[in-house]
Every structure is written in C-alpha cells, then in structure tokens.
C-alpha cells in the first residue's frame, strides 16, 4: 500500500464547515483509506498551533487527542522528522523559487525518506514539485 502524506491544509478544510474546500475534504477522506495515511510531527505541530490561535486551546487539544487515537488504532501514522530529513528540507528551501514554508520542505523531505510521491493538500505550493531523491513529481490526490 502506498504511503500518503496528509498536509495541514487538508485537516483545516476537513474540520472547518466554512472552508471553501470542506466538501472536497470530506469526499477525499474516503479516498485516503486506499493509502497508508501519514502525517509528520511538523504537520501535527502546525495544525495544533493553528487551531490554538484560530479556534481555541480546548478544541486544539480535542483534535490532538483524536489524531493520537487514530494513530493508536492504526488508521494514521506519525513520521518523526529526523536529522537527515531536517537537513534535506533545506535543499528544498534552496531549490524552489516559490515561498515554501520550512514545514512544507520537511513534508517533501519526509516524502523522500518514505519513498512516496503521494500527498493530500489544498496548498498549491506543492503543485509542480519534483522530489529531490527520486526525481518523481509529487502527486496530489485532490486532483485525481
């Protein structure tokens, strides 16, 4: 089964009924089951921080616990960014002219380490990106 990296933007769209991509996120939640779903510790951090500042701390804690429960149940994996992934993320920051956040760069570097090209994101910054290790184009399943 191919690994699929879930980006913060997917979770935000899924959780927010008013998000422009909410309905699409709900539909894509079924497609995720065809993959081994993975988030990084950086994505987890980015999501929980976003929820603390844009919703409230209690909701952020609730979502964090729900994600950890999904990990416990085997429905989701958390990939911890190690030194190799961290350093390789800088290569993405240097290579691409567009403004990629460092978290986005760690996502791409994690995809290299996990040997996958599949991503679910509503962030267009991932469009037309080739992975450095394999040279393969990132495939965002929102377009499939």
What is the residue extent of each domain of the chain?
3-143
Weakest mean pLDDT among 28-32, 97-101, 117-121, 140-144: 97-101
Query: For residue 30, what pLDDT is reported?
Result: 95
Give the DSSP letter string of 78-114: EEPP-HHHHHHHHHHHHH-SS---HHHHHHHHHHHHH
Q: Residue 97 pLDDT > 90, yes or no? A: no
pLDDT value for 99: 85
pLDDT of 98 reads: 84
CATH architecture of 3-143: 3-Layer(aba) Sandwich (3.40)
What is the reported pTM?
Answer: 0.95
Number of Cβ within 10 Å of residue 132's Cβ equals 14
* Nearest-angstrom CA–CA distance, 115 and 71: 20
- The mean pLDDT of 4-28, rounded to a whole number, is 98
């Amino acid at each position: 089964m191919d690994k699929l990296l879930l980006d913060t933007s997917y979770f935000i769209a899924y959780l927010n009924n008013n998000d422009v991509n909410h309905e699409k996120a709900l539909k894509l939640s079924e497609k995720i089951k065809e993959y081994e779903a993975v988030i990084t510790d950086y994505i987890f951090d980015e999501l929980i921080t976003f929820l603390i500042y844009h919703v409230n701390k209690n909701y952020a804690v609730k979502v964090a616990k729900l994600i950890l429960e999904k990990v416990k149940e085997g429905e989701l994996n958390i990939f911890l960014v190690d030194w190799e992934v961290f350093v390789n993320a800088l290569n993405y920051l240097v290579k691409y002219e567009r403004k990629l956040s460092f978290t986005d760069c760690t996502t791409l570097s994690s995809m290299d380490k996990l040997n996958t090209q599949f991503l679910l994101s509503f962030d267009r910054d991932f469009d037309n990106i080739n992975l450095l290790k394999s040279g393969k184009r990132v495939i965002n399943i929102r377009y499939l």
